Amino acid sequence: MILSKGERSTMGESTFPTDCWGTAKQRIVVIGNGGGGKTTLSRAIAEATELPLHEVDRIQYRAGWEVAPAAEVTSEIEQIIATDRWIIDGFGPWPTFESRCERADTVIFVDFPLWIHFWWAAERQVSAARGEARLGGPEGCPLDGMTEKVFRAIGFVHEEIRPKILELLPRVRDRVDLIEIHSPEELDALHAAISL
């Protein structure tokens, strides 16, 4: 599904509008629950657009999953938002998320059914247990031994953060290109559109 500047259109698996990526984009927000492919998508967008990519998890976590001070996280994200060109992948403090949406020209919301987020996150955890390299994520923060925390975080985002996102997005719809992804097929279609 794509929502674009006040217009809502629905698509099936094979009818994703490939021209949805045709306009110049300078400030892109990529959000959604864990295990949804946000980082892979963000990296593909960065490669296609040459926009600088900022992963919020790399800002809010230090080595060993130590949480950075909230004031530092907020300050760094706000500094990024104030620039003219960026992709910001992830959540961070809620006020910075609202600021991002105010400044963005594009918001991409990866919103799969909850079971897909859990499934893909479980696959990532299995890959980590096998010693496979992780794409993105904070430096010095291995996923080994983090499965329970990852699953709790996914549940928290679904129950607490997702409703706030669903309340916020209609308020920015008229100002941004709003792209909602509800299935792996739609995610694949967006990847294909980006690479055209």
Place of tokens 């430096």: 139
Kindly list the distances between the CA atom of residue 10 and the CA atoms of 1, 22, 179, 182, in Å, as whole numbers in the listed order: 5, 18, 11, 11
CATH classification number, 25-194, choose in 3.20.20.70, 3.40.50.300, 3.40.309.10, 1.10.287.470: 3.40.50.300
pLDDT in tens for each of the 196 residues of the chain?
444 454 433 333 333 444 555 557 899 999 999 999 999 999 999 998 889 999 999 999 988 888 899 999 999 999 999 999 999 999 889 999 999 999 999 999 999 999 999 999 889 888 877 877 766 777 776 777 788 888 999 999 999 999 999 999 999 988 899 999 999 999 999 998 887 6
Bridge partners of 146, per DSSP, are none
Q: Record the tokens describing residue 164, joined without a space.
A: 């706030």
3-class secondary structure, 31: strand
Confidence (pLDDT) at 141: 64
Q: How far is CA 38 from CA 75, 107, 179, in A?
A: 23, 12, 13
Domain spans, the chain:
25-194
Using CB atoms within 10 A of its CB, is residue 105 exposed (0-12), middle (13-18) or buried (19+)? middle
Torsional class of 136: left (φ above 0), alpha (ψ -120 to 50), beta (otherwise): left
Contact 11, 1 (CB under 8 A): yes
**Which residue type does 38 have?**
K
